């Protein structure tokens, strides 16, 4: 992954030194700055030095701001982490509720409406959803700000945009899993022993149906981090996605590479924590 990003950043058009110094600077100054930054060395030498630097835990310095990449990424990643947690919470709660309702009222109008809503949420691009939410809640109704960050109100629109697709996937997965669990013998046995259909669903069937749903929630939180690039750009939200887009436009190689590393490691960590959470839902997995 790191190799792919390193190569792509070198082959896209644009000179980071020219972008940093401006078009009016003489060629001698440009060459001197490029030499000082090590950008005039062979690509393989730059790659080797960068890999060794990363292995030591040093992500380098930003070409444009000359600040440490680690501090720049940390400052923006906090905003994305907050946004991702809010979006993931909205997606999980609303997705689980819609999935349970659709499964309990299978083949009814409520079930069909939930399925249609889920399909629309999955098929609509996040940037288009964001623009629609801005037009409705920020321009038309003027209930919420259209962008930037600062208060919880600034989080709502980008969080809803990010949550829309994930919520739809979680709802469909929960519905499918719960419908399957409700047809199993242990549910019929629980009802035969005196539990109501609702109690059997919530106490027994839902817990087993949550295992594939939790997998989806964990994966979707990772996708929220990746999908934040477009959403944060639409809402001018200063998170890691906005930082990556800004760094790409300025050809800031170390900043792009450092941000991608952090996002990738976060995705791996989330998947690991998701696997651990299975043991709390199914005692058989602990054994």
Residues 78, 159 within the same domain: yes
Residues 48, 123 within the same domain: no
Q: What is the pLDDT of residues 203-230, one digit of tens each?
A: 777 777 777 777 777 776 766 666 677 7
Residues 33, 88 within the same domain: no
Contacts 24+ apart (CB under 8 A), 45-48: 47/3, 47/6
Residues 234, 131 within the same domain: yes
Phi, psi dihedral angles at 68 (to 5 degrees): -65, 135
> Which domain covers residue 6, as residue numbers?
2-55
Q: What angle do CA 38, 46, 43 make, to 5 degrees?
A: 105
Residue 146 falls inside a structural domain: yes
Residue 209 falls inside a structural domain: yes
Residues 50, 11 within the same domain: yes
Rounded distance between C-alpha atoms, residue 69 and residue 96, angstroms: 38
pLDDT at 279: 66
Are 278 and 39 in contact by the 8 Å Cβ rule? The answer is no
What would the two tokens of residue 114 be?
Answer: 């939930």
Residues of the chain with pLDDT under 70: 1, 9, 12-16, 18-23, 148-149, 202, 220, 222-227, 277-287
pLDDT at 102: 84
Tell whether the torsion through CA atoms of 145, 149, 154 and 157 is positive or negative.
positive
The kind and range of the H/E element at 59 are none
Radius of gyration of the chain (CA): 24
Q: How many domains does the chain divide into?
A: 2
Are 94 and 129 in contact by the 8 Å Cβ rule? The answer is no
Residue 125 falls inside a structural domain: yes
Residue 216 falls inside a structural domain: yes
Residue 60 falls inside a structural domain: no
């Amino acid at each position: 992954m790191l190799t792919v990003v390193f190569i792509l950043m070198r082959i896209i058009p644009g000179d980071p030194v020219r972008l940093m110094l401006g078009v009016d600077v003489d060629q001698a100054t440009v060459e001197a700055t490029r030499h000082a930054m090590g950008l005039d060395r062979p690509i393989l030498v730059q790659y080797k030095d960068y890999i060794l630097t990363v292995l030591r835990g040093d992500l380098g310095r930003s070409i444009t701001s000359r600040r440490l990449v680690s501090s720049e990424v940390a400052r923006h990643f906090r905003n994305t982490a907050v946004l991702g947690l809010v979006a993931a919470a909205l997606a999980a709660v609303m997705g689980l509720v819609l999935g349970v309702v659709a499964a309990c009222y299978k083949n009814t109008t409520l079930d069909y409406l939930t399925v249609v809503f889920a399909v629309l949420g999955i098929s609509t691009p996040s940037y288009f959803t964001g623009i629609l939410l801005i037009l409705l809640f920020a321009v038309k109704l003027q209930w919420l700000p259209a962008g930037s960050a600062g208060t919880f109100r600034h989080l709502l629109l980008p969080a809803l945009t990010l949550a829309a697709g994930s919520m739809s996937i979680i709802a469909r997965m929960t519905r499918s899993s719960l419908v399957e669990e409700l047809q199993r013998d242990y549910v019929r046995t629980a009802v035969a022993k005196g539990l109501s259909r609702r109690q059997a669903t919530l106490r027994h069937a839902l817990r087993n149906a949550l295992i594939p749903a939790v997998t989806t929630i964990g994966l979707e939180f990772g996708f929220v981090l990746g999908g934040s690039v477009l959403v944060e750009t639409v809402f001018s939200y200063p998170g890691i996605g906005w930082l990556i887009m800004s760094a790409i436009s300025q050809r800031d190689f170390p900043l792009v590479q450092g941000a991608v590393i952090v996002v990738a490691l976060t995705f791996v960590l989330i998947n690991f924590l998701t696997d651990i959470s299975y043991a709390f839902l199914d005692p058989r997995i602990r054994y």
